Structure formats: C-alpha cells, structure tokens
Amino acid sequence: MASKVIHALYTDDDVLMHAVKKVRQAKHHIEEVYCPFPVHGLDKAMGIAPTRIAITSFMYGCVGLTVAIVMMNFIMIEDWPQDIGGKPSFSYLENMPAFVPIMFELTVFFAAHLMVITFYMRSRLWPFKEAENPDKRTTDDHFLMEIEIHDNEDELIKLLSETGAVEINIAEK
C-alpha cells in the first residue's frame, strides 16, 4: 500500500528553517527536506542524529597505517632486504624514519577512499541510480519539505500554510 505525503514548497531558506521548527514543535515527523544548496543548521532543526563517519575514518586510517607497516616490513626487511646508500635493512625500527612518508600516505589513502565508499553505500548512491527528487524546482530555487500523512491531512495543510509555504501538494510515495 502506497502512503500519502505532503510536499510543502518554500522559496526562502530562512522561512524553511522557521517552518521546520514549527512542524517539529507540533510533533510531526519530517521525512525529508530537499534543498538546492546546503542549509546550515537544518539537520539539527530536523532532529537528525550526528554522523559517525569521523569514527569510521579513524578506523580506516588505522587499517591503512597497519597495511603500510606490514607491507614495508615484509618488502624491505624480510622478503628482499637491500643496502641503499650504505644503510642496510636489518630491522624495521632502524629504518622507520625513512618509512614515515609511506605510512602517512597510505593512512590518508585508505581513510579517504574507504570513507567515500562508505558514504556512497550508506547513502545508497549506486552508479546509474535514478534521482529520487520529487520536484525539479528543488535543484534550482525552491525548498521542499516532505511529511507523511497519518489521518491528519487538514491539520498539516493548515500548519504548513501558516509557516509560509508557497505551494502545498499531496502525493503518493
């Protein structure tokens, strides 16, 4: 069974922020807000929990550092030790200062690439995915607030018109 949603369109981001706060005060759940540009503080006003991508970034960086240390120890010390510039490679600790740039680069490489992959998987942004934007005007100059209807259609329409919505539509989700 398809559910019904209300799409309230706004033309100003300040009016949108005020509307989001009023809708949240009235204890309605906002499904999504579509914006043509990032609106500072909108996630907090909507009650969205903070992201944990920084934690995953740290873990991915630790994985990259571990891979760098194991790789350099195996390649330069165990598998094929070389005498470079009169400095023999008998132990990893003796040569660690020379390996610092490689450790740094692999830490950043792993953290950056795995964060991007995690972001795309978490956001369900696959290659060739169709856009889920309900109104094309939100890519230009309008803001759209989407609220699911639970037998409170008239109340929501009245509330949204009071908040300054320039257009209110009911759609199937």
Band (pLDDT 50/70/90 cuts) for residue 1 is: very low
Which of residues 106 and 139 earns the better pLDDT score? 106
Residue 42 has pLDDT above 70, yes or no: yes
| Mean pLDDT for the chain overall | 89
Give the per-residue pLDDT at 2.
61
141 has a pLDDT exceeding 70:
yes
Answer whether 165's CB lies under 8 Å from 16's CB: no
Which contiguous run of DSSP H or E holds residue 17? helix 13-25
Q: How far is CA 56 from CA 38, 52, 63, 116, in A?
A: 23, 7, 10, 11
Q: Which of 13-27, 68-82, 157-171 has the lowest mean pLDDT?
A: 68-82
48-71 pLDDT, tens digit per residue, is 988 888 999 999 999 999 999 999
HSE-up of residue 61 (Cα within 13 Å, Cβ side): 10
Find the mean pLDDT for residues 107-119: 95
Query: Which of the four pLDDT bands, split at 50, 70 and 90, describes residue 146?
Result: very high
Give the separation between CA 72 and CA 101, rounded to whole angstroms.
12
Q: Is the pLDDT of residue 88 over 70?
A: no
